[in-house]
Amino acid sequence: MYHRRTMQRKPSDPSRAPRPTFGRSKRSQLSVIDYTLAKRALLRDAQAGLQSVNDLCDAHPELMRAAKYVGEPTRSDCPVCKKDKLVLLAYVYGDRLKQDNGRVWSIDTGMRMAAADPDTCCYVVEVCRSCQWNHLREAFTGRRAATG
Ligand SMILES: [Zn+2]
């Protein structure tokens, strides 16, 4: 579906593409871990001078590139530089993904992948395109059918 080197989406026949069926109920089909508290603690340490801001704003060049192209805009200001709005990206991990394991995706795609396979985990990362602040925000896994 994606060009392996450039990550560009190949044109496909829209009538044959499966329509996303999640929409509003997407989150209800996924288990969520929230990392807000860990993030707040880190930012508090930075404000108190216990943690270097340079260490927090260390986004990998590949992450910055992805943030530019597939990052989903938010209305939240960057908590570090307050100069830019944060964008969201998804890292998806799962053994069955093979060469796609650990790759960066848009939030929608990442959540769809997690919902499709309970062994897959979608990590949502917030990124500031100005100062390169980046932090895990939430992690989603597909709900496994409850078996003893
Ligand atoms: Zn920033």
pLDDT digits 0-9 by tens, 111-134: 999 999 989 999 999 999 999 999
- Residue 86, CA atoms < 13 Å, CB-side half-sphere: 20
pLDDT exceeds 70 at position 58: yes
Q: What is the pTM of this model?
A: 0.75
Locate tokens 């089909």: which residue? Answer: 29
Tell me if 12 is assigned to some domain: no
Tell me if 2 is assigned to some domain: no
> What's the number of domains the chain is made of?
1
Residues with CB under 5 A from ligand 1 (ion): 78, 80-81, 128, 130-131, 133
pLDDT tens per residue, range 10-38: 544 444 444 444 445 566 778 999 999 99
Separation of 5 CA from ligand 1 center, angstroms?
Answer: 29
Separation of 74 CA from ligand 1 center, angstroms?
Answer: 13
Which pLDDT belongs to residue 106?
Answer: 95
Separation of 52 CA from ligand 1 center, angstroms?
Answer: 14
Separation of 29 CA from ligand 1 center, angstroms?
Answer: 32
Locate tokens 């795609």: which residue? Answer: 109
Which residue segment(s) compose the domain that 128 sits in? 24-142
Tell me if 125 is assigned to some domain: yes
pLDDT exceeds 90 at position 51: no
Tell me if 8 is assigned to some domain: no
Tell me if 4 is assigned to some domain: no
